Amino acid sequence: MSIPITLTVNGIPRTVALEDPRVTLLDLLRERLDLTGSKKGCDRGQCGACTVLLDGRRVNACLALAVSHDGAHVTTIEGLARDGELHPVQAAFIAHDGFQCGFCTPGQIVSAVGLIQEGQAGDDPERIREGMSGNLCRCGAYAGITEAVATAHAAMAGASGLPGGYLREDAA
């Protein structure tokens, strides 16, 4: 039984006939659509290397069954630059040396784009570290990553509005 599904990937509608419902979103992107920027680190939700934006929200593509997301919009690392211009988060990772080997980097960058859009972290380094804790870096480039996210957040200021997470009526 072949199951046809359509995803809009980096703005382009793509229809794929799945021969088997076991295909994850990560394998679909990498093996069927040749988008190998999203990495397979653990394949079990533990490292964040596979992070993509699914309908605008960062998720682990390795634990999402592709068939369940028929009709969704997906943004991968390949879809962030516009007209040859790097996304501000990409530029900030270069400026701050936010990587060493680069394996975790696509996931880090997409996750940072998601974090900034969620508007919970602001430029507080502690909140940035917590908000990025789903992305492990074996090279330990965390100091540069945190700086890069803070810089990109400032460059994109206004995109996310006020930081959220208030628990009391009288606050905020």
Partner 1 sequence: MNRFDYVRAGSVAEAIAAGAEPGAAYLAAGTNLVDLMKGGIARPERIVDITRLPDLDRIERLPDGATRIGALVRNSDLAHDPDFARSYPAVAEALLAGASAQLRNAATAAGNVLQRTRCQYFYDVASACNKRAPGSGCEAIGGVTRAHAVLGWSAHCIATNPSDFAVPLAALDAVVEIEGSAGRREVALEAFHRLPGDAPERETALEAGELVVALRLPPEAAGFAAHARYLKVRERTSYAFALVSAAVALRMEGSRIAEARIALGGVALKPWRCREAEAALADREATPEAFRATAEAALAGAEPSGDNAFKIELARRIVVRGLTLARAGTPERVPALPASPFAGAHHA
Which residues lie near ligand FAD (CB under 6 A)? 45-46
Please identify, using beta-carbon distances, which residue of 45 and 56 lies nearer to ligand FAD: 45
Mask: binding to ligand FES, 122-161, rule CB under 6 A, as x and -? Answer: ---------------xxx-x--------------------
Report what 111 binds from partner 1, ligand FES, ligand FAD, none; CB cut-off 5-8 Å by kind.
partner 1
* Terminal C-alpha separation, the chain: 54
- 146 belongs to the binding site for partner 1 (CB under 8 A): no
**Can you tell me which of 21, 45, 56, 164 binds ligand FES, judged by CB under 6 A?**
45
Token readout for 110 is 């997409």
Rounded CA-CA distance 89/31 in Å is 26
- 130 belongs to the binding site for partner 1 (CB under 8 A): yes
**Can you tell me which of 56, 102, 164, 165 binds ligand FES, judged by CB under 6 A?**
102
Amino acid at 71: G
Shortest CB 87 distance to ligand FAD, Å: 27
User: Burial code of 19-30, b = ≥16 C-beta within 10 A, e = fewer?
Assistant: eeeebbbbbbbb
Return the H-helix or E-strand segment holding 116: helix 105-118
Query: Which strand ranges, in their side-by-side order, compose the sheet holding 73-75?
Result: 12-18, 3-9, 73-75, 51-54, 57-60
- 83 belongs to the binding site for partner 1 (CB under 8 A): no
Amino acid at 61: A
Rounded CA-CA distance 132/137 in Å is 11
Cβ atoms 153, 116 nearer than 8 A: yes
Please identify, using beta-carbon distances, which residue of 62 and 116 lies nearer to ligand FAD: 62
Please identify, using beta-carbon distances, which residue of 138 and 159 lies nearer to ligand FAD: 138
Shortest CB 145 distance to ligand FES, Å: 8
Q: Under the rule (CB under 6 A), what is the footprint of ligand FES?
A: 40-43, 45-50, 60, 62, 99-105, 137-139, 141
